[in-house]
Amino acid sequence: MDSSLIIRKAIGGFLFLAVMLWLAIFLPVWKINYWQGWLYYVVFMLSCLLITLYFIKKDLGLIQRRLKGGPTAETEKLQKIIQALSSIFFLGIFIISGLDYRSRWSCVPFILSIIADIFAAIGFLIVFFVFKENSYTSSIIEIGKEQKVISTGPYGMIRHPMYSGAFLMLLFTPFALGSVWGLLPVAGIIITIILRLLDEEKYLIKNLAGYKEYMEKVRFRLIPGVW
C-alpha cells in the first residue's frame, strides 16, 4: 500500500474514532457539562494521536497492520465472534457508565476519576511500548512475512503485554467516567479478550517458529507472577 494512502487512512480512522467516541461518551449522559467525560475524552484521544503520529513517522508498516481490524477482518469464525462481542462490550462501557452518571446509580469521588484517567493513560503507554518493541502487532491474528518471536522489552515479562495495557485502560474507564456499574461490560470484554488470547496462542504455536519455546521461557500471559 502506498505510504500516502496509509497516512490518509490512519488520519481518517483517527477522526472517525474521535467522533464515535465523543458520541459514545456524551449521548448516554445527554449533556455537555460533564467534566469526567471531557477529561477522559482528552486523555484517550491525545494518547491515540501521539501514538499514531509517532508510528506514522517511525513505522508505517505497523500503522498498516493496525488499520485492519474488527470482526470482518478476522479469518477464523471464532475470532469473528470474539471480536464482535468485544466491540459490543466496549460500547457498553460508555453507554452504561453514561446512564449510571446521569441517573446517579453510583457515586465516584472526583479524585478517583482523576486517578483513573492517569491509569488509563498508563495503559496507553504500555501499548505504545509494545508497538515500539513489536512492529508485527496486528489488529487481527496473523503471521507477517519474516516475523519472529519477540522476547525483549515487555515481552520478556509477559506474553501478551498489549492486552495487559488494554485491560488497565478498560478497567479504569468507568471510574474515570464517574461510574461503578460500567464495570459490568468491562468484565465481559475481559472474558472475550482472554478467550481471544488463548485461541491466539494455539495459532502461534502452530504457525510461528519458536513460539512454543518462548512460552516455556515466559510463563505468564497477562500479569507477572500471577497468570
The string of pLDDT tens digits covering residues 79-133 is: 888 888 999 999 999 999 999 999 999 999 999 999 999 999 999 999 999 999 9
Count the Cβ atoms, other than its own, within 10 Å of residue 164: 22
Q: Which of 90, 66, 54 is nearest to 10 (CA)?
A: 66
CATH number, domain of 38, equals 1.20.120.1630
The answer to the question of residue 225 being in a domain is no
Q: How far apart are CA 44 and CA 94, in angstroms?
A: 13
* C-alpha 123 chain-centroid distance: 9
Q: How far apart are CA 183 and CA 170, in angstroms?
A: 9
Q: What pLDDT, on a 0 to 100 scale, did the predictor assign at position 13?
A: 92
Cell digits for 53? 503520529
The answer to the question of residue 11 being in a domain is yes
What range defines the domain where residue 64 resides?
3-217
Question: Residues in the chain with pLDDT < 50?
Answer: none
The answer to the question of residue 222 being in a domain is no
Q: How far apart are CA 65 and CA 97, in angstroms?
A: 31
The answer to the question of residue 227 being in a domain is no
The total number of structural domains in the chain stands at: 1
The answer to the question of residue 223 being in a domain is no
Burial label for 96, CB within 10 Å (0-12, 13-18, 19+), is buried
Q: Is the separation of the CB atoms in 170 and 96 below 8 Å?
A: no
Q: Is the separation of the CB atoms in 139 and 68 below 8 Å?
A: yes
Cell digits for 165? 495495557
Q: What pLDDT, on a 0 to 100 scale, did the predictor assign at position 66?
A: 83
The answer to the question of residue 181 being in a domain is yes
Our CA angle for 177, 181, 182, nearest 5°, is: 50
The answer to the question of residue 224 being in a domain is no
